[in-house]
Structure 1
Amino acid sequence: MFASIAAHYLWWIVALVLIAIEVIMPGYFMLWIGIGAAATGVLVLVVPGTSLLFQAVAFAVLAFVSCAVYWYVLRPKLQHDEPGDARLNRRGEQLIGGRYVLIEAIVNGRGKARVGDGQWLVSGPDLPVGTTVEVVAVEGTTLKVRPG
């Protein structure tokens, strides 16, 4: 009698325990299994008198489905990459492809270009002051440029 009356409560307690484990050890996996347990509790509430075997199979299926929904539907939407995220703290790499004006002629492969309100060391073929150059690579704090 206890199992038929309060079985849904037991599934909800299992769900809360699994979700609490998720809070302690984050990673989303236990959360979705907990959601499967909560859904099993709702199913047992809606369809009372179900056997323990049916409940176990329903839990396994619902846990698998909820994990699959997370993995294939929600996870790709949550993992969006903003442009420049990979180069967030590498400002020189963010400048690749940009065009800038030389404020100091490139002589013997070295010069300076205006980038925003600052100046960067550049290396490339010898070019006069005022030439527009394109950044093609970064080597340390020096921008590798070509006429552009």
Structure 2
Amino acid sequence: MWDYLQHLSFWDWLAFGTLLLILEVFGAGGYLLWVGVAAAGVGVITYLFPTLPWTWQFLLFGIMSVLTAVLWWRRQRHAAKPSDQPGLNQRGQEFVGRTFQLHEAIVDGRGKIKAGDSVWLVSGPDLPAGTPIKVTGQDGVLLKVEAAA
């Protein structure tokens, strides 16, 4: 084992980095990406300095693994900014506060309205079809409504 460690080549590091990156493809969630990149980086350094002792190689690998992960984490944290379209992919939120007419009567708390080019399920007090209603909220695909004043 010691003999193997003392004769680590850049191929060993590149193979290890490749293996980690392949495992990352199978769904590690980003945990192995930066460790794999660090292993490939140590492979490049070992190619440039082939007499680098194995202890320094492992030390560089550890430092580079932590450094790449921390730098990426910091970049991601600073890159997260609020969206200029907060209602994107929340289609029912655009109807909150608007007034519509009931397309089908609300019976036992459920009915339908026609909003845009779609028919939406609504929940609220029992009301006859054609009654003006106001959308007050959304619960999944169900719009919460009340009688418009």
Q: TM-score, normalising length from structure 1?
A: 0.63
Seen in structure 2, the aligned counterparts of structure 1 residues 98 and 4 have a Cα distance that, compared at 3 Å, is same
Q: Name the counterpart of 1:147.
A: 148
Structure 1 position 137, deviation (Å): 2.4
Task: Give yes or no for the alignment of 1:45 onto 2:44.
Answer: no
Structure 1 position 103, deviation (Å): 5.1
Q: Name the counterpart of 1:61.
A: 63
Q: Name the counterpart of 1:100.
A: 99
Seen in structure 2, the aligned counterparts of structure 1 residues 101 and 72 have a Cα distance that, compared at 3 Å, is same
For 2:34 and 2:45, how far apart are their aligned partners in 1?
A: 16
Consecutive unaligned residues of structure 2, counting only runs of 5 or more, are none
Seen in structure 2, the aligned counterparts of structure 1 residues 27 and 145 have a Cα distance that, compared at 3 Å, is same
Tell me whether 2-11 or 23-32 shows the greater mean CA deviation. Answer: 2-11
Q: TM-score, normalising length from structure 2?
A: 0.63
Structure 1 position 71, deviation (Å): 2.5
Q: Name the counterpart of 1:14.
A: 16
Is residue 11–residue 37 contact of structure 1 (8 Å, CA) maintained in 2?
Answer: yes
For 1:5 and 1:41, how far apart are their aligned partners in 2?
A: 13
- Compare the two structures and name the one with the higher helix fraction: 1
Structure 1 position 15, deviation (Å): 0.7
Counting aligned pairs with the same residue, the percent is 19
Task: Give yes or no for the alignment of 1:115 onto 2:115.
Answer: yes
For 1:83 and 1:49, how far apart are their aligned partners in 2?
A: 58
Is residue 135–residue 144 contact of structure 1 (8 Å, CA) maintained in 2?
Answer: yes
Over the aligned positions, Cα root-mean-square deviation in angstroms equals: 4.4
Structure 1 position 83, deviation (Å): 3.7
Count residues in correspondence.
Answer: 140
